[in-house]
Structure 1
């Protein structure tokens, strides 16, 4: 294990419906044995169908993901929180202000804001997925 790789990481976003569940699933797949990986949102939304579809393309199933908020976390002793939106960054800094938790900010486009055809929207979600996977691999080796 790399010395800078945390034992626990929380991916955080606005609704815990697209970006953070994608990041959670990909990190768990590649690093889950030596790392606790979870996700949460500032608010709970509903897991997005486009997110489910593009994750299925890489053989990851997020259909059972249940969006939750920071307040609904059972485990809160994370070494690292990776915030994927500005609102999640602010919330993480407030929520974990007294502990040893580090907060990193990875500004990530919100694919749900993209309009267009079904294929154009899917492509936006793929770009988010692929960008997150690149960042995860760069960060964790």
Structure 2
């Protein structure tokens, strides 16, 4: 089985959303996981904006990077510069991809204003995961 890992700093928003989309878009030959350099818990607004697209990440857990799984990955996607710079070493055969996306958890303002940021980042992740799934299908 092929393995993919989505990694960001806290495993609370971006990597969780990417995992949700990847589980929907990638074929069953892929094992999909996400993790963080730290475990901040899954952000309720990430859960909400994914539910708007009928993807349920409410039972996901915020986890730290599993070194054993990381070493077995075919693809590792970092979703922030911190994760890219601090991610543990991967084998040379691991395809590494970096998506420099803003952290929606840092959004400020009213709930509606923060939701706009979450939706924008969610949609960017969705588009990138769809493109990646097409690329990995070959």
* TM-score normalised to structure 1 length: 0.87
Deviation track 1:51-79 (CA, whole Å, cap 9, x = no partner) reads 01001101111111111111x46523001
Aligned equivalent of 1:112: 105
Using the TM superposition, give the Cα deviation of residue 99 of structure 1 relative to its aligned residue in structure 2, in angstroms: 4.6
C-alpha RMSD over aligned residues: 1.7
Using the TM superposition, give the Cα deviation of residue 137 of structure 1 relative to its aligned residue in structure 2, in angstroms: 1.4
Of 41, 44, 53, 1:58 maps to 53
Using the TM superposition, give the Cα deviation of residue 100 of structure 1 relative to its aligned residue in structure 2, in angstroms: 2.0
Aligned equivalent of 2:9: 14
Q: Which runs of 5+ in 2 are unaligned?
A: none
Aligned equivalent of 1:40: 35
1:126 aligned to 2:116? no
Give the match's secondary structure for 1:61: coil
1:81 aligned to 2:80? no
Q: Which runs of 5+ in 1 are unaligned?
A: 1-5
Q: Residues 67 and 32 of structure 1: is their aligned pair in 2 closer, same or farther, counting only changes over 3 Å? A: farther
Query: Where in structure 1 do 4 or more consecutive aligned residues deviate above 6 Å?
Result: none
Contact persistence 2:25–2:133 (CA under 8 A): no
Aligned equivalent of 1:137: 130
